[in-house]
Amino acid sequence: MMRRTALHVFSARGLDLARELAPSLDADVFAPARLAAGRDGVAGFDDLAAHMTATFHRYARHVFLGAVGIAVRTVAPHLLDKTCDPAVAVLDLAARFAVSLVSGHAGGANELARELARLTGALPVVTTGTDVSGLPGVDELAARKGMAVANPRAVKAVSAALLEGRGVQVFDPEGRLLGGEDAGGLFVATRPEDWDPAAPGVWCHWRTGGEFPATFRVYPRCLCVGLGCRKGVPAREILAHARAVLAHAGLAEQSVAAVGTVDIKRDDPGICEAMAALGPENVFYDARTLADVASAGQSETVRRRIGCGSVCEAAALLLSGAEAQLVGKTKTSRVTCAVALRLA
C-alpha cells in the first residue's frame, strides 16, 4: 500500500524542521543514521541511493529539506513518467522557498509546495506553464478532485493549446471538473455530436465516450453500485455481471465511487473481492437500514431470507442519496446489481 508523504533530511537543522512538519503532513521522516540515532519517529538510512530505491515508489509525495540539487540527483534515476511519478517538492532549510520539482499537476507537487508554504510561511515556487500563465491545469484539477483519468498524455495538447491562446473543446455538462471555469473563453463547451476527434479536448462525464487521441478524459467518482448475491458466488461472476450492467447502460466503470451490500456479506470472500475491485469505497448496511429505503423495489423472497425487501437497489440509493436509480435491479440467477448517481 502506498504511504502518503516522506520527508528526507540531511542535516540537524533539516531534521528539526522535518519533525515540526511531520504531524501536519502525516509524514514519515528519514535521515542519515547518525542523525536518526535515538530520535523517536525518525527512520535512519546509511546509503541515500539505496534508501531512495526502497522508498520512491512507496510514497505518493516526497519532500526534501535542503538544496534542490541533491533532490534532483537523488530522484533522477527513479523517474518514469509524469503520469505515474510521485510528487517531489523541496523546502530550503530557512523555509523561504517551497519548490514544486517533479509531477506538479498529476502527482500533486504544486499543491504540496503550496501546502508547505502555508505551514511555514515560505514562498511557493511553481513553474508549470499553465500556472504561471494563470490558466487551469486540468490534470491537477482531476487529481485534486479524486477523479479517474484516461489518456493522460492528451493533457500536453490541451495545455499547449491554452498557452498558445487556442480554444479547447470541453464536455463537462455538470461542471464537475471545471466548475464553470472557461479560462477566459478558451474552454469552449462542445456537444458530443459536434466534437472534433483530432482537436485538443477535455471530456468529463460518468458516461462512456470521448475516446479520441487528443481528448483528455476525466471520470468523476459519482456512480454508486449496489450488489447482492447468493452465498459463495465467486468474485469473477459478480464482477462480470456488474461490468455488463455498467457497459449496457453506457456507464464508465472508472466513475464508480462506492459499492454497497448487506452486512451479512462481510465474510463472503467473493462479493468482498468484487466490491474492492469495483470501487474505492465499500459499505455494508444492516438489514434494518436497507429496509427503510421505501423507494427501492421490494422482494418478499429477499425479505424472508435476510430481513429486508431490497439489497442492491436500497444500497445504491443509500450510497448516492438519490431518489431513484440510474439502473434498477438487474439480475442473473445468482447476482443482482443496481446503479445510482451521486449528485455533484
Element (H, E) at 90: strand 87-91
Which class for 174: exposed (0-12), middle (13-18), buried (19 or more C-beta within 10 A)? middle
- Tell me how far apart the alpha carbons of residues 145 and 220 are, in angstroms, rounded to a whole number: 8
Query: Is there a contact between 205 and 135 (Cβ–Cβ < 8 Å)?
Result: no
Element (H, E) at 18: helix 12-25
Domain ranges in the chain with CATH number 3.40.50.11220: 3-127
What phi and psi, each to the nearest 5 degrees, are found at residue 45? Answer: -135, 150
Please give the pLDDT value at position 130. Answer: 66
CATH class of 223-341: alpha beta
- Tell me how far apart the alpha carbons of residues 235 and 21 are, in angstroms, rounded to a whole number: 43
Domain ranges in the chain with CATH number 3.30.420.180: 223-341
Identify the CATH assignment for 3-127 out of 3.10.20.30, 3.30.210.10, 2.60.120.200, 3.40.50.11220: 3.40.50.11220
Please give the pLDDT value at position 288. Answer: 92
Query: Is there a contact between 150 and 217 (Cβ–Cβ < 8 Å)?
Result: yes
Whether the model clears a pTM of 0.85, i.e. scores above it, the answer is: no
- Of 32-41, 211-220, 249-258, 263-272, where does mean pLDDT reach its minimum? 32-41
Q: Pull the grid cell for residue 271.
A: 462479493
pLDDT in tens, 274-320: 999 999 999 999 999 999 888 787 777 777 777 787 999 999 999 99
Residue 105: band (very low, low, confident or very high) from pLDDT cuts 50, 70, 90? confident
Please give the pLDDT value at position 126. Answer: 85
Query: Is there a contact between 77 and 63 (Cβ–Cβ < 8 Å)?
Result: no
Please give the pLDDT value at position 74. Answer: 94
Helical pair 68-75 and 48-55, crossing angle rounded to 10 deg: 60
Which class for 50: exposed (0-12), middle (13-18), buried (19 or more C-beta within 10 A)? exposed
Name the average pLDDT for the chain. 92
